[in-house]
Structure 1
Amino acid sequence: MSLLLLVLSSVLTALSMPGFLFGFFVWFGLVFLFLALEDKNPLVSALYGFLYFYIFSAINLFWVLPVLVENLPRTFSRFPGWLGFFVFLIMLAIEALPFAAFGLIYSLGRRSTENWPWLDLLFVASAYTLMDYLRGLGEMGFTGGTLADALYREVGVLQLAPLIGSYGLTFLIVLVNRALYMLMKKSSKPIERIAFVVLLIISVSHVVESFLPPPQKGETKLVALQTHVTPKKKYSSSSLELYSEIEKHLEKLSNNLVILPEDTFPTDPTKNPVGEKMLELSNRNNLKILFGAISTNGGAKNSIFLVESSNVRKVYSKVKLFPFVEMLPYEKIFGMFDFLKGLSYLEPGENFLPVSLENYPSLGIQICFESYFSEPSRNLVKNGAEVLVVCTNDGWFDFNTALKQHFSKSVFRAVETRRQIIQVSNAGITGVVDPYGRITKVLPVRSYGSMEIELSPKRGETFYTKYGDLIVWFCLAVILLTLLLPGQRRIRVRRVWG
């Protein structure tokens, strides 16, 4: 029965994620995990914690499997599809390892908190949040599947993010789940009580949303161009052939700034005719063009180039590289997985500096995977970015679930920093998020398209931008305090027969 409850918890939590069913599942999905963990010793609890997140990740990240067994092998021909399947299983295990620690800590702290409900709430929420945070650290850090992702459409609740960030929202979600678990244990009508609490949270969120100021319309505009080029076509075509496809769309534009996706060209445009042709078009139509390509000066880098008036120059290089594909993490341990790399391993960029363009607000550009983390957005805003831009190539993914999960991260980065975010993607989602987390425009996915965007620049720093994930230090303090408390003594009474 415990294993069935664990699986139910994994499934419900996964179905709350972007691209699945209903986000409100996240408010009670963990209740069944807590029921499964009842009266389990530390080792069994650790195993249950691991299995919970392993099953959850297998469902939530199912869209990674076709990339590993079909798209990468077909594009680069370095490894067979069956090997990609085993890489997927290993990836899930790595993602789940921190939650084995969650199960262990949960069991160890149970005796110290069983007579202190308020401490139990804080302790369990802290343990889960801390493990989720640790999962995102290091060269293999990944934040997909953070509980807060389920709330990307709950604009009212998102207004807490400028204070506590996405991990603060995860803490809140676990806190509510734990409170509902306690309520279920005591109530004779647990389902009704759970439904009432969830409906109350959703209602309050909608009320808060209704009081937010309306979306602003700025005077400065730019154009986002969704190119829709498959990886197979991109890596089997020359840069000139790719440019000829894009040129007919650029020719329709004039007197504007145009932003194209990451990796528009797989070669350095300053060292082939593409750069010259884009410069000619830029001068002819009075365009400024930002686009992604590989730069090779000072090592191969995933970069964004700017075409304007007299030159083509690199303005930003990706700092946080994607593990295994763009760089090999912990080479001594994972050296055997170098077959997963793209064209070649890349060098990271050096800093998060905004791009300054005449007559435009300062643009903080991120590339692809970087929007999964708060660090790039926070540093770009600290360095003066007034609008944030995410250039990405999501053409590797066959399922729209992947596109929605990536775009949801832009929602959190927008609210955390109170900045408008423009995401420009190859396959989609290309869209706009305002500083309150409202999605104001999107293009249809998997098609060529352009979108005119009115910019809403902002200055200043939110509390979260300045101080980051203080919630993590609070979680660590709660866990240490709880584990150091003496456990409640269980007194056994033995009946003496006279």
Structure 2
Amino acid sequence: MVQTWFPLLLGAALALTQPPSPLGFLAPLPLVWLLTRGGFRFGMLAGMGFWAMHLVWLPLSFVVLFETPWGAVPYLPLVLIKAAIWGVVFGLTRGRPLARAGLWVVQEYLTSLGEIAFPWGFVGYALVDAPGRLLASLGGVYLLSLVVMGVALCVYAAWQRLRKDPVVFSLPALGLFGLGLFWLGLWVMPLPSAQGSQKALLVQGNINPLRKLEGASAEETYLQLTRQGLQAHPDTTVVVWPETAVSGFSPELVALLGSRELISGLETGLTNRAVRVYGGQITHYYDKNRLVPFGENFPWAEVLRPVYRFFFRAFGFNGDLVSRTPGTGYTPLGRYGAFICYESVFPAVARRLVLNGAEVLQLGSNDAWYGPSFGGLQHFQMGRLRAVETGRWLLRAGNDGVTAIIDPYGRVTARIPQRQATYLVGAFGLLQYQTPYVRFGDWAVALAGFLGVIGLRNRAKGTIV
């Protein structure tokens, strides 16, 4: 019984250090055991504990939003699939802690690839509330994952040595003390200041997504809130509306904007689009590239069509499934690197936009699909790191939140409450420099792969770490 519950509890404990939990500073503790114990079965059970806890928002949100217990059904296979991936990594690295740490990060990266990509649950997100997240500007969230697991491995190695040589001022004891100072430093280190010279108005319409699918218009809500915001803050330079806010722009909006820019989601039916409106014209557009699997894109449609149709009926949708058309590139809307909702958990998306000239990031999202669960907060916290990785301000406009402005160091400089129809006004800046992560990309993944190979090789020679 203990052999079953122990890995389950370890996995759940690690999940409690992930966003939106404030317990990220405890992440190395469960990892000390997760990196050094067990094989496939241990990893599978640990994965079940982790993913069941980390993704519990999925059944909570779907059951409430769609008012049917069938909303909880997709949760089980997702947890089992993600847990099985952990099991494979653990099975390949039994007795090889260094290899396990390296291959763990590699599998994180692999989950961001392909049409069914679901890049959730990266260990590095434990540092999202720590000033030490600044390391993401060097190597992205994958470097943060390596740092967190590296701390856990060093704790394990020092503790093993200390058990053999329990002297207060021994090298292992001093090593543990130094490691503690390093970890503490990641949580208390000062960050540079960031000042913005531009002013943005972000509008949060709080529109029920199911009513929008039924044809309800949100235009009047967005016009009214925008009018109120501009009257109170006439020096606003750009207005930001969230994902699929409206299906068109009225002459009244054009007159209201005047010489200001508008960045907005536009519902087109076949694509999920963001546009820049200036002078009464759409000057640029960006189509969402990374579509939500089983939501905007339906993999293996011919084989799974009866399954899709069953859940469509269970969720109250009429009609047949139609996948959206993905975009074909990462082109900024002028100075604005606009990306859309689900794309905020893909580090490569924001990086490509900055490589192509974006001076500020803009994310339009519709997290109302998460319902009353913590899924929206989790999505927001993960997306904050895109600002750090790219060294750009991030203007995040959500249909029901989280609507916020994040500076290039990951600090939330302005934010409004969720699930209210309101607006946010705040300062931001335009920047042109490129962080090492933008320049060199996912080099931390290559390093993780190298460490994985070294770890496997050293085990063959009788070395544990």
Common topology (TM > 0.5): yes
Structure 1 pair 294–195 and aligned structure 2 pair: CA distance change class (3 A):
farther
DSSP 3-state at the match of 2:410? coil
TM-score, structure 2 normalization: 0.87
Q: Which string of whole-angstrom CA distances, capped at 9 and with x for unpartnered residues, describes residues 425-480 of structure 1?
A: 11111111111111211111111221222221111222211221112222223333
Cα-Cα RMSD: 2.8
The separation in 2 between residues aligned to 1:177 and 1:6, in whole angstroms, is: 16
Matches of residues 341-490 of structure 1 in structure 2 within 5 Å? Answer: 344-356=322-334, 362-399=335-372, 401-484=374-457, 487-488=460-461
Amino acid at match of 2:294: F
DSSP 3-state at the match of 2:460? coil
The separation in 2 between residues aligned to 1:92 and 1:261, in whole angstroms, is: 30
Q: State the match for 2:47 in structure 1.
A: 53
Unaligned runs of 5+ in 2: 167-172
2:103 is aligned, of 97, 103, 127, to 127
Name which of structure 1's ranges 303-312 and 368-377 shifts more when overlaid on structure 2. 303-312
Name which of structure 1's ranges 339-348 and 420-429 shifts more when overlaid on structure 2. 339-348
Q: State the match for 1:168 in structure 2.
A: 143
Q: Is it true that 1:88 corresponds to 2:75 in the alignment?
A: yes
Q: State the match for 1:136 in structure 2.
A: 112
Q: Which string of whole-angstrom CA distances, capped at 9 and with x for unpartnered residues, describes residues 199-232 of structure 1?
A: 5244312453x2x3212131x2221111111223
Q: State the match for 1:101 in structure 2.
A: 88
Name which of structure 1's ranges 196-205 and 287-296 shifts more when overlaid on structure 2. 196-205
| Contact residue 275 and residue 333 of structure 2 kept, 8 A | no
Q: Is it true that 1:292 corresponds to 2:273 in the alignment?
A: no
The separation in 2 between residues aligned to 1:391 and 1:465, in whole angstroms, is: 22
| Contact residue 12 and residue 46 of structure 2 kept, 8 A | no
DSSP 3-state at the match of 2:74? helix
| Contact residue 206 and residue 399 of structure 2 kept, 8 A | yes
Q: Is it true that 1:177 corresponds to 2:152 in the alignment?
A: yes
Deviation at 1:60, TM superposition (A): 0.9
1:69 is aligned, of 63, 70, 87, to 63
Structure 1 pair 26–489 and aligned structure 2 pair: CA distance change class (3 A):
closer
Amino acid at match of 1:280: E
The separation in 1 between residues aligned to 2:439 and 2:26, in whole angstroms, is: 32
Q: Is it true that 1:318 corresponds to 2:294 in the alignment?
A: no
Structure 1 pair 53–350 and aligned structure 2 pair: CA distance change class (3 A):
same
| Contact residue 43 and residue 89 of structure 2 kept, 8 A | yes
Deviation at 1:263, TM superposition (A): 1.7
Deviation at 1:318, TM superposition (A): 0.6
Amino acid at match of 2:323: Y
Q: Is it true that 1:251 corresponds to 2:227 in the alignment?
A: yes
Deviation at 1:336, TM superposition (A): 4.8
| Contact residue 283 and residue 308 of structure 1 kept, 8 A | no
Unaligned runs of 5+ in 1: 38-44, 75-80, 114-119, 270-274, 357-361, 491-498
The separation in 1 between residues aligned to 2:287 and 2:384, in whole angstroms, is: 23
Name which of structure 1's ranges 283-292 and 432-441 shifts more when overlaid on structure 2. 283-292
| Contact residue 390 and residue 421 of structure 1 kept, 8 A | yes
2:192 is aligned, of 213, 229, 242, to 213
Structure 1 pair 324–439 and aligned structure 2 pair: CA distance change class (3 A):
same
Deviation at 1:55, TM superposition (A): 1.7
Q: State the match for 2:244 in structure 1.
A: 263
Q: Which string of whole-angstrom CA distances, capped at 9 and with x for unpartnered residues, describes residues 371-410 of structure 1?
A: 1001111111011000001100001113452222111223
Deviation at 1:8, TM superposition (A): 2.4
DSSP 3-state at the match of 2:73? helix
Deviation at 1:313, TM superposition (A): 6.1
User: Identity of paired residues, percent?
Assistant: 26
Deviation at 1:258, TM superposition (A): 1.1
Question: Bigger relative contact order, structure 1 or 2, given CA contacts below 8 A and separation 6+?
Answer: 2
Structure 1 pair 169–284 and aligned structure 2 pair: CA distance change class (3 A):
closer
| Contact residue 242 and residue 264 of structure 2 kept, 8 A | yes
The separation in 2 between residues aligned to 1:57 and 1:465, in whole angstroms, is: 30
DSSP 3-state at the match of 1:18? coil
Structure 1 pair 347–421 and aligned structure 2 pair: CA distance change class (3 A):
same
- Larger radius of gyration, structure 1 or 2? 1
Name which of structure 1's ranges 329-338 and 300-309 shifts more when overlaid on structure 2. 329-338
Query: How many residues get paired?
Result: 441
The separation in 2 between residues aligned to 1:434 and 1:405, in whole angstroms, is: 18
The separation in 2 between residues aligned to 1:197 and 1:226, in whole angstroms, is: 46
TM-score, structure 1 normalization: 0.81
DSSP 3-state at the match of 2:293? coil
Q: State the match for 2:170 in structure 1.
A: none
| Contact residue 224 and residue 452 of structure 1 kept, 8 A | yes
The separation in 2 between residues aligned to 1:478 and 1:27, in whole angstroms, is: 18
